[in-house]
Structure 1
Amino acid sequence: MTSLGFLYPGHSAEDDYPRMEQLIGSNIRLGVVHTDIGEDAHRVDALIEMGSAKRLAAGVEELRLAGAEAVVWACTSGSFVYGYEGAHGQVRELARVAGLPASSTSFAFAHAVKELGASRVAVAATYPDDVAELFAEFMKAVDIEVLSVRGSGIITAAEVGTWGEDEVLALARAGDHPEAEVVLMPDTALHTAAYLPLIEETLGKPVLTANQVTAWEGLRLADRRVNAPRLGTLFTREPLVQVD
């Protein structure tokens, strides 16, 4: 049994994790511990506070007691909002406190794009435009070319969590770019685990979504590889690269 730990902010789309655990169908457990988010707002100051060291540290002990072999901060905006260097520092501190390999959803996106051998992406985000642009800047900092950025202006994770198949598919279509090799959908508050094959079939290319890449990142940290086609192209490939 491989046990992975995820620090998930609040309550929005955390039910993607038991769904993904079932779809992986192996001796892998995706354990979720909820962190206190403070103010639910896709606003820079609120996001910085959401990802603060004290809020993340509060959930670490529960993951350790559950036998987690690695921990991932399952929040994109609460990591990339710190910038590349700040997000690195956030992960280093999380690893220190947990005594485990650690990462975050922002780095999971970077690693997953490179795993697919891609370099040109389109961003289809639920966020307001200014926050979506910060995600694009983070991707550029890891040498990924961002061809287009589509924001949706959604302020709260609670609202994003109410979106279903129609809204998710519409966002993916609106955010695609004809020259993009991969479409990125960066919000762990967005339910996507049930829709990945449909989105990829509709767009005709790989799609990376926040909870999907977060689960994959935990597996990468634990040096586990699984084949789970219903979780999209990312879960059907042999690794192309090892990214530190």
Structure 2
Amino acid sequence: MTALGFLYPGHSAEDDYPRMEQLLDSDIRLHVVHTDIGEDAHRVDALLEMGSAARLTAGVEELRLTGAEAVVWACTSGSFVFGWDGAHDQVRALARSAGLPASSTSFAFAHAVRELGVERVAVAATYPEDVALHFSAFLKAAGAEVVAMRGSGIITAAEVGTWGWDEVLALARAGDHPDADAVLLPDTALHTAAHIQPLEADLGKPVLTANQVTVWEALRLASRRVNAPALGTLFTKEPVVQIRDR
């Protein structure tokens, strides 16, 4: 059995993880440990505090007890707001604290884009536009070309967690662009585990969502590959590039 650990901020779409565990249909267990988010706000100062070392470290001991082989900070905005170098510092500190291979959802997106071999992406974000711009800058630092970026102005993860299929589909369609090779939905507060296949069918291209890439990244850290068509192209495509940080 492979046990994977996730530090998840607060409570919004954490039920995506047991759903994905079922869809993986394998000897893989996904263990979610909740971190204290402080203020629930898609605002840079609040996100920097949410992703602080003290808040992440507080959840590490509980995570260790799960027997996890790797840990991912399951938060996009609470990692990319630190910038490319700062996000590296964040996961290095997490790895030292946990004594495990570690990453974050922001790096999961960067690695997943390379895995698919795509260069041009569109970002369909729930965040206010100023926060979404930080994600675009992170992707550009990772070597991706962001051909379109849409922010939705949603301030709290709690509100995002109430969105269903209709809102997710509308977000993906609004954020897509004819020149984009893939569409990225970067909020782990957004329920997407049940929607990836129909989103890809509707848009006619790969769709990467925050909780999906987070689980894929944990599997990557544990050197596991799982074919799970319900979780989209990312979970069915053979690797086309070597995954490495720049």
The TM-score by the shorter chain falls in which range?
A: over 0.9
Provide, for residues 88-144 of structure 1, a one-character-per-residue CA deviation record: whole Å limited to 9, x for no partner.
Answer: 000000000000000000000000000000010000000000000100000000110
Match of 1:148 in 2: 148
Cα separation, 2, equivalents of 1:80 and 1:232? 24
Following superposition, the deviation at residue 146 of structure 1 comes to: 0.2
RMSD of aligned residue pairs (Cα, Å): 0.5
Confirm or deny that 1:228 pairs with 2:228: yes
SS of match in other structure, 2:14: coil
Following superposition, the deviation at residue 237 of structure 1 comes to: 1.2
Cα separation, 2, equivalents of 1:69 and 1:104? 15
Provide, for residues 165-199 of structure 1, a one-character-per-residue CA deviation record: whole Å limited to 9, x for no partner.
Answer: 00000000000000100000000000000011110
Cα separation, 2, equivalents of 1:19 and 1:126? 22
Match of 1:163 in 2: 163
Confirm or deny that 1:105 pairs with 2:82: no
SS of match in other structure, 2:149: strand
Q: Which letter does structure 2 place at the counterpart of 1:9? A: P
Confirm or deny that 1:60 pairs with 2:60: yes
TM-score normalised according to structure 1 size: 0.99
| Structural mapping, 1:7-156, within 5 Å | 7-156=7-156
Cα separation, 2, equivalents of 1:150 and 1:10? 25
Match of 2:183 in 1: 183
Unaligned 5+ segments in structure 1 are none
SS of match in other structure, 1:31: strand
Cα separation, 2, equivalents of 1:97 and 1:108? 20
Q: Which letter does structure 2 place at the counterpart of 1:172? A: A
Following superposition, the deviation at residue 63 of structure 1 comes to: 1.2
Following superposition, the deviation at residue 238 of structure 1 comes to: 1.6
Following superposition, the deviation at residue 204 of structure 1 comes to: 0.2
SS of match in other structure, 1:205: coil
Cα separation, 1, equivalents of 2:221 and 2:63? 15
SS of match in other structure, 2:243: coil
Moved over 3 A (4+): none
Q: Which letter does structure 2 place at the counterpart of 1:68? A: A
Q: Which letter does structure 1 place at the counterpart of 2:36? A: D
Cα separation, 2, equivalents of 1:98 and 1:202? 40
Confirm or deny that 1:237 pairs with 2:231: no
Following superposition, the deviation at residue 241 of structure 1 comes to: 2.5
Q: Which letter does structure 2 place at the counterpart of 1:215? A: V
Unaligned 5+ segments in structure 2 are none
TM-score normalised according to structure 2 size: 0.99
Cα separation, 2, equivalents of 1:239 and 1:206? 14
Question: How many equivalent pairs are there?
Answer: 244
Following superposition, the deviation at residue 243 of structure 1 comes to: 1.9
Following superposition, the deviation at residue 24 of structure 1 comes to: 0.2
Q: Which letter does structure 1 place at the counterpart of 2:30? A: L
Cα separation, 2, equivalents of 1:163 and 1:221? 30
Q: Percent identity?
A: 80
Cα separation, 2, equivalents of 1:51 and 1:86? 11
Q: Which letter does structure 1 place at the counterpart of 2:210? A: A
Following superposition, the deviation at residue 62 of structure 1 comes to: 1.0
